[in-house]
Chains A and B, each alone.
Chain A
């Protein structure tokens, strides 16, 4: 790479990341000088940092120019800004649902918010990374804080177990990913995504190179908990503090998909003949296994964990219909992934927010704890039902829009695999409704156990999150064309 170019740093392009970085350091240092219950005031500092970063993202979007730093390693374009805006919105909600949870645990608050912001820093680097090395750094910056955050409930054995499994799987997949990247670099002689694509379309496919692309995809498959690599997910989700679970299920997964989008749609696009069918099989396995296992769960967090595995399967469907050189189809597939991720983020964080609110009264988090929630806390019950029905993909909620986008692109491809995938999505949607609606039935139709538990009081931050996301879940259905338009704007495919 040109040294002069690599030393060019565009501070405005980096401003959102710098804001998050500054906030994370401030949080870590300020917490040291606060005592007792005052430690919880680091949360507003973190929220402020996220809002400032969001302001910078909006400013960059208004500016409109494509900017780059470090010689094309870090690029700010519509795609990057769309994901950054999404991640910052998710960060805001995750911080809001963390506030009371962590101020009641009363430990590691500075470290928790520091790690959370560091992970979000990695996520914001991810969509801007147009270089294999930068992608790897971003992915690790998302993963490593996650390992620690999953184990923050040190007094709980399940938290320790979950963090340990997450760590071991994470390290293994990082090694596999790095091995794949090194082979890709060896064959193509470049680490930039576009350079890799150009080199791949020029040369003929070598079996080792094909194996290397699958290694890379497997590395990201761990992050998004696709089926052969999903074993860590349920245990980690169950053991981790619930806000961290929401973070892992939405933000960390979306970051994995962002990286996967860049690697598959840009760098490995010429080899789509090979990896697309593989991802198709993975998609079918992921959604089917996730949904079938979720059917038998009695623990609410585990149910949502398996549901999140299943949703990773739906998001993988558009990847499977990619065809090398077919720019129109690939653009549609790309925007379907974006639509699904954005919709999934809104409804899933909402569901976890309700679980946090209820878990304060019922630490067991059993599905049966939700009996009679409709009478006790009608607001929360309505919101929870909205999120679950939306996750199931029933109109008039955003989950339907997301499922439709994925379904359409599978049909549009017109291949046998596309038809099979569309059928699999339809069948799985029906299976998933069984367990989503089972929870809704418990909430509304079953009597609360005697003696009647006290009503759940979510508090201001949590209440705002639940209410706000419920509104978003409905509003994004009405404004679906807007969501589609935004996703179409943000498409990033191999320039060819």
Chain B
């Protein structure tokens, strides 16, 4: 059990090192730099162009639906990769594994005609 906790020592050492690095860098720069601030310097940096509008901006609800679809199919890919890696070595379990994945893909694919008919895939 103690061995298990000891393996976390590296994590805590790294965490301490990270905090130290940032603290030292900021303190050093504050000590060294001259302090002459004015309006332009205090404004938000946006690639050198004058900032436009507010920090909060509205995004069209359509992006929300697209984000959802993206996540579904992204997770699907993530799910298939490990499956594809072990499929070759599965031996006699291969037909079963293939069948199970086909069932999963069937349900995921079924969503596409549904989305199409509901008009989710149209942008206009």
Contact = CB atoms under 8 A, between A and B. Distances in A.
Interface of A: 3, 7, 25, 28-29, 32-33
Nearest to A25: B110
Contacts of A3: 93
Given A7-B96, A32-B114, 7 more contacts: A25-B110, A28-B114, A29-B114, A32-B113, A32-B117, A32-B118, A33-B117
Contacts of B110: 25, 29
Q: Is the interface of A mostly helix, strand, loop or mixed?
A: helix
Q: Which 3 A-B pairs have the closest CB atoms?
A: A32-B117, A7-B96, A28-B114
A7 B93 contact: yes
A29 B118 CA distance: 11
A105 to B, nearest CB: 18
A25 B93 CA distance: 29
A32 B114 CA distance: 7
A33 B114 CA distance: 10
B21 to A, nearest CB: 35
A29 B114 CA distance: 7
Nearest to A6: B96
B113 A29 contact: yes
A28 B112 CA distance: 12
Contacts of B93: 3, 7
A247 B111 CA distance: 26
Contacts of B118: 32
Contacts of A7: 93, 96
5 contacts: A3-B93, A25-B110, A29-B110, A32-B113, A32-B118
A247 to B, nearest CB: 23
Nearest to B118: A32
B94 to A, nearest CB: 11
Contacts of B117: 32-33
A30 to B, nearest CB: 11
Q: Is the interface of B mostly helix, strand, loop or mixed?
A: helix
A25 B117 CA distance: 15
Nearest to B100: A7
B29 to A, nearest CB: 43
Nearest to B107: A25
Contacts of A25: 110
B49 to A, nearest CB: 41
Best-buried of A3, A7, A28, A33 by chain B (most CB within 10 Å): A7
Contacts of B114: 28-29, 32
Contacts of B96: 7
A386 to B, nearest CB: 43
A29 B117 CA distance: 9
Interface string B94-124: 0010000000000000100110011000000
A28 B117 CA distance: 11
B93 to A, nearest CB: 7
A24 to B, nearest CB: 11
B104 to A, nearest CB: 14
Contacts of A33: 117
Nearest to B117: A32
B108 to A, nearest CB: 13
Nearest to A7: B96
Contacts of B113: 29, 32
A103 B117 CA distance: 21
B121 to A, nearest CB: 13
Nearest to B97: A7
A33 B113 CA distance: 11
A256 to B, nearest CB: 26
B116 to A, nearest CB: 9
Interface in B22-77: none
Nearest to A28: B114
B110 to A, nearest CB: 7
A3 B114 CA distance: 35
Contacts of A32: 113-114, 117-118
A3 B96 CA distance: 11
Best-buried of B93, B110, B114, B117 by chain A (most CB within 10 Å): B114
A69 to B, nearest CB: 13
Nearest to A8: B96
A13 B17 CA distance: 59
A3 B100 CA distance: 14
A29 B112 CA distance: 11
Nearest to A110: B114
B61 to A, nearest CB: 14
B60 to A, nearest CB: 20
Nearest to A4: B93
A180 B86 CA distance: 32
A237 to B, nearest CB: 29
A7 B113 CA distance: 31
Nearest to A21: B107
B109 to A, nearest CB: 12
A25 B111 CA distance: 10
A115 to B, nearest CB: 13
A32 B112 CA distance: 12
A3 B110 CA distance: 29
Nearest to A9: B96
A7 B114 CA distance: 31
A377 to B, nearest CB: 40
